[in-house]
Structure 1
Amino acid sequence: MIMNEKIKSSEVQLTGINGEDLGIVATSEALLMARKLKVDLVCTSLMSSPPPCKLIGAGAAKQEALAERKKDHKPKLKEIRLTPQIEDHDYETKKQQAERILKSGDAVLLVVSIRGKEGDRAKELLEALLKDLNPMGRKKTGIQLSGKQAMVQIDPL
């Protein structure tokens, strides 16, 4: 995002604070207008001539760029491995790790490795984690028990 003095074009297609079209204006004049209104002059695209620019409130430009970046972010699937005989502190740590991943917009795959007859314990552990993580995300798949592991995928809200 190109802002204020970094805009090198001699003239810009200007849009006002409330979205009104102000027409083609000299860049220096647009910068003066932005300073008077205590806002930023932000160039939205460099592909056209003259480049379209907007007058946006000082902090709003950065928030808009952040929102745009988040929108472009494709969610990833991140795996967290556990064992059925997990201690309380370790459980909390893994839960917080999953919460952090879900808040960042990525999906979580919880995998519990099973040895012997630990299948029921593994299922109980995943059900407890699903219950604790319910405010952050919802399960995409049911709990799958297969051979040596149990797993469930949780997508962010």
Structure 2
Amino acid sequence: MIVNEQIKASEVLLTGLNGESLGIVSREEALALAREHKVDLVCTSLMSSPPPCKLISRGAAKESAAAAKREERKKDQPLKAKEIRLTPHIEEHDYDTKLRQCEKLLASGNAVDLVVRIQGKEGPKAKELLEELLKDLSGSGKKETGIQLSGKQAAVRVLPL
């Protein structure tokens, strides 16, 4: 962010405190206006000639730049995955509760790992349960991986739409 004396252009396209256009003025005149109103002169883009500049209250420009930086960092975070555990012998009410939990997590932007614990020969039943859950969740998420049967569990990851 380029402010006040850091601006090197001889002329700037100036915007006032209330968003009104003040036209093209010299750098010195713009800095004098900024000092007079006790505000900062902030350059919004260096890609045009003359560069557009705004009069912004002191600290507000710094705060908005920090907020934009925080938002950018937040977007760069990897997707958080929450795990929902089930068993192949699940009651209808419990199934509905787990389904609502999954929809809530997907709506908040989290990925969901659906894990079914299996013992003995419950593999096909666990896979059937996961397929049914995926079908019911199709409105709020899509599967990232296929259903993986491994040893004592069957799992699938669902990403939010």
What's the offset of the Cα at 1:45?
A: 2.8
Paired with 1:27 and 1:104, the residues of 2 have a C-alpha distance of 47
Instruction: Map 1:45-64 onto structure 2 (within 5 A).
Output: 45=62
The 3 A distance-change label for structure 1 pair 127 and 21 is farther
Corresponding residue SS for 1:135: coil
Instruction: Map 1:8-157 onto structure 2 (within 5 A).
Output: 25-26=34-35, 43-45=60-62, 71-157=75-161
Q: Please, what is the CA RMSD of the aligned residues? A: 3.9
The 3 A distance-change label for structure 1 pair 126 and 15 is farther
Corresponding residue SS for 2:62: coil
% identical equivalent positions: 53
Extract structure 1 runs of 4+ deviating beyond 2 A. Answer: 13-30, 41-46, 64-74
Structure 2: gaps (5+ residues): 1-6, 8-13, 24-29, 40-56
Kindly name which structure, 1 or 2, has the bigger radius of gyration based on alpha carbons: 2
The 3 A distance-change label for structure 1 pair 28 and 89 is farther
Structure 1: gaps (5+ residues): 1-12, 31-40, 47-52, 55-61
